[in-house]
């Protein structure tokens, strides 16, 4: 019954994303104190999170090939997290559109330098964003020979975002790196899947078995076929959304 309710909520989100002009698949979660977290699948690596009247945007980008997100229809962000400077993660115009005096903009050092402001986090840094929200920057990089130049070790971030006890791992552009062994107690994970830039489906499966999230969203997958992943991860609730 619980799984059925979750599916219904996700379907409702597909048809009506809180009155937005566009519709996005929506998954609803509950924090330890009973508050609601809504996660909207915008596209590729762009994620919107609503929590307790606050807006959190992850890698907001308005256009990617033939897909667009109308961020002008969204409220100003309370928190924005940017993993790194590639065009499908960092878009200056979108950041400025979403930003207001209240906005906490958290990025890696390269993005802060490019944007001219924001809070820079390096791998291993932790930050208290609110009484009930923390973020930790974790490594995200390539390990396959011939791909190391795409995301060199130490430059980019993944993030562990903890919202009232709900732990969300946003991996960023990475392969199945050894540091994933240190990522524990994850409720929701976003793991990327498209070579040569991130992981193959086989690498994603290995990463998921290491991290062991309760819920897994393959994302950033472009044209990669991720349909076979759920069958390989028994015990993990794998949800395929439109994160092409």
Mean pLDDT on 223-241 = 97
Q: Is 21 left (phi over 0), alpha (psi -120 to 50) or beta?
A: alpha
Nearest C-alpha neighbor of 165 from the set 185, 193, 140: 185
* Interatomic CA distance for residues 205 and 176, integer angstroms: 9
Mean pLDDT on 31-58 = 98
* Interatomic CA distance for residues 170 and 188, integer angstroms: 9
Model pLDDT for residues 138-175, shown as the tens digit of each residue = 999 999 988 988 899 999 999 999 999 999 999 999 99
Nearest C-alpha neighbor of 239 from the set 14, 77, 1: 14
Say yes or no to pLDDT of 2 above 80.
Answer: no
Q: Residue 44: which pLDDT band, with cuts at 50, 70 and 90?
A: very high
Mean pLDDT on 98-102 = 98
Q: Cite the beta strand spans of the chain per DSSP E.
A: 25-30, 36-43, 46-51, 54-58, 63-64, 67-68, 79-81, 104-107, 119-120, 126-130, 133-140, 156-163, 166-170, 188-192, 215-219, 237-238
**Over pLDDT 70: what percentage of the chain?**
91
pLDDT score, position 148:
85
Could you give all domains of the chain from N- to C-terminal order, each with its CATH number?
2-64+76-238 (3.60.15.10)
Determine the length of the chain.
244
| Tokens found for residue 66 | 């033939």
In this structure, how many other beta carbons lie within 10 angstroms of the beta carbon of residue 243?
23
Say yes or no to pLDDT of 3 above 60.
Answer: no
Model pLDDT for residues 105-144, shown as the tens digit of each residue = 999 999 999 999 999 999 999 999 999 999 999 999 999 9
φ, ψ dihedrals at 14, nearest 5°:
-65, -35
Mean pLDDT on 86-95 = 96
């Amino acid at each position: 019954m619980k799984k059925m309710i979750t599916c219904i909520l996700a379907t409702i989100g597909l048809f009506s994303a809180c009155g937005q002009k566009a519709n996005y698949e929506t998954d609803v979660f509950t924090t330890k104190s009973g508050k609601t977290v809504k996660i909207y699948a915008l596209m590729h690596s762009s994620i919107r999170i609503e929590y307790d009247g606050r807006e959190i945007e992850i890698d907001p980008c308005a256009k990617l090939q033939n897909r667009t997100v109308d961020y002008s229809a969204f409220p100003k962000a309370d928190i924005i997290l940017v993993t790194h400077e590639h065009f499908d993660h960092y878009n200056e115009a979108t950041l400025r559109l979403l930003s207001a005096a209240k906005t906490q903009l958290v990025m890696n050092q390269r993005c802060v330098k490019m944007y001219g402001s924001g809070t820079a986090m390096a791998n291993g840094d932790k930050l208290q964003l609110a009484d009930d929200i923390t973020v930790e920057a974790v490594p995200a990089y390539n390990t396959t020979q011939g791909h190391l130049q795409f995301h060199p070790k130490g430059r980019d971030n993944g993030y562990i975002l903890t919202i009232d006890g709900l732990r969300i791992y946003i991996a960023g552009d990475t392969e199945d790196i050894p540091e994933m062994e240190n990522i524990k107690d994850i409720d929701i994970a976003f793991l990327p899947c498209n070579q040569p830039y991130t992981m193959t489906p086989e690498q994603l499966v290995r990463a998921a078995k290491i991290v062991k999230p309760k819920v897994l969203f393959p994302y950033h997958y472009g044209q990669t076929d991720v349909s076979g992943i759920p069958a390989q991860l028994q015990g993990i609730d794998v949800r395929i959304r439109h994160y092409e």
